[in-house]
Amino acid sequence: MLVVSAIAATTSASAALIGGGTCPTASLSQPFAAWGDSNSYELVPGGSFESSLAGWSLTGGATKTAGSEPYGATGRVGQSSLLLPAGASAQSPPMCVDASDPTFRFFARNNSLLSSVAVQVVYPTLLGPVALPVGAATLSPTWRPTLPMLTGSLAGALLSGGTLQLSLRFTAVLGASQIDDVFVDPRGTR
């Protein structure tokens, strides 16, 4: 009986972290078409760094700075990006994902020799947030799009039978870096 009660409590508490159905419809574009990626993407909340960074969690001196990727991936060339000094981190606000949101991409550049950005996907759990490493972006001194990285939403949504919340965390390793225009790929809408 204790085990059944624990499972029921866990299931009820999980409902607050995982929802059924699908995520809300978002505005889509093809920001990486110039690099042979014709998938449709949606911009992560605040992922252009052009307005307020409300909802983003910044540590270690991460801050909005002048300068943007020059390709106009959001429909126009911006004026700002996110500066990550060595050791600094930035975490996006939580966003809804489901099985149709398997990857994400962003633009990045290094500001010092040997810079790279470690990337994690952060999921809420009943025991607190869990951060899973999904890759690193080894950067160049010029703005470049990263390769697609996995959100892990496919497995999570299949296990939950619906949607879940995740955040993306970016941490500068060894030297300063900049990131800009962070997009999630809802593959169900190609």
Number of domains in the chain: 1
In the block, residue with structure tokens 């052009």: 50
Identify the DSSP state of 35. Answer: G
Mean pLDDT of the 85-98 span: 91
Is the model more confident about 161 or about 139? Answer: 139
pLDDT at 2 over 50: no
Q: Indicate which CATH number applies to the domain containing 134.
A: 2.60.120.260
In the block, residue with structure tokens 């995740």: 166
Q: What is the pTM of this model?
A: 0.83
Mean pLDDT of the 76-81 span: 96
CB atoms within 10 A of CB 45: 16
Q: Measured between alpha carbons, how far is 59 from 43 in angstroms, rounded to an integer?
A: 22
pLDDT of residue 189: 44
- Tokens at 117, concatenated: 């950005």
Q: Which residues contact 9 (CB under 8 A, 6 or more apart)?
A: none
* Domain limits for position 121: 2-189
